[in-house]
Structure 1
């Protein structure tokens, strides 16, 4: 067996991330706290994960972009299993002296990480200049954040009862939606700072046409 054959069989970093995300999704679906909530929460993960698998060979993102995307998928899938208000996160809540479970804030912050792959895609495809790609990705994340809060409200009203309350996850905070959107925006700004430093459009992974 040649060295070339051996190297071709190695699992790449994106494939390892895909296996990790798949494992977490499978685990999350085993006896979730609220099956109805789990289904509603896992749908957004699958809507992102499956297209990434399908388009991997045609448009491979950078390792950094895949890492950013995997963080949110994993955090959101964990939240789907327990419901965000009930994820075992006492170590952090106790650290900041809060009775509220702030795991959902971390998940919302991670949503903002998707600004990086959006900007990377637009700049590598040469649809626009990198600065405009970054600006568009920031506003896109902010729009998605606002839209998701509307979906949460709609589902909570539709589902009602404990399932609706757990899906909403406000935990009694009347400003929960606004704080979630702020977390999304801060996550986007953080990932775009990495975009500005790393400049993935300069040495991109080859795109198969």
Structure 2
């Protein structure tokens, strides 16, 4: 499948996902905030597709990440049913879907940022690139936590569904750690295939 066809497939899947997830979300304001990254990313992907087509790997990961956001937006991260199933199965104290969301917040941007740094920044694959990607992913995570902080200050008690802390005082730190772990996993698991696809472009 060509990159253009993958982008078209991503668009159709996301439009369907947005329609389903936005039909009757638990909280409309929370849904808007949770799916906002996908709403911003989709037009950007199309605007830049001619000059900077992403690899198929990057597009596939972006597509999956968007669906994770939409599912979290529908129920709020603390109430996603599959998270409750995992909580019961593993005997956890909280719904772990939020942890998955923050893992993906590192896993997917790691590949996207890596591609940007190689193709636009002229960096070569290696240790320096890995360190920069990890640092950028942490910066993205910290920025998102600051956005959550701003939402909490603005919305007051109404921000609880968006924050999804589930009573954990260390939720912010766990979120950033999961992002870092996700980014590291992506670099370890996907660097070789990513380099092959970048070379093919």
Fold match (TM-score > 0.5):
yes
Instruction: Give the Cα separation in 2 of the matches to 1:44 and 1:186.
Output: 21
C-alpha contact (below 8 Å) 1:115/1:188 kept by paired residues: yes
Aligned pairs for 1:33-182 (under 5 A) are 33-89=26-82, 90-112=84-106, 113-125=108-120, 127-131=122-126, 132-161=128-157, 163-182=158-177
Segments of structure 2 that go 5 or more residues without pairing to the other structure are none
Give TM-score, length-normalised by structure 2: 0.89
Closer, same or farther: CA 173–54 of 1 in aligned 2, 3 Å = same
Give TM-score, length-normalised by structure 1: 0.85
Q: CA RMSD in A?
A: 2.0
Alignment partner, residue 3 of structure 1: none
C-alpha contact (below 8 Å) 2:35/2:66 kept by paired residues: no
Alignment partner, residue 199 of structure 2: 203
The counterpart of 2:184, out of the listed 183, 189, 202, is: 189
Point out the structure with max Rg over C-alpha: 1
- Secondary structure (helix, strand or coil) at the match of 1:174 reads coil
Runs of 4+ deviating beyond 3 Å: none
Instruction: Give the Cα separation in 2 of the matches to 1:153 and 1:133.
Output: 30
Segments of structure 1 that go 5 or more residues without pairing to the other structure are 1-6
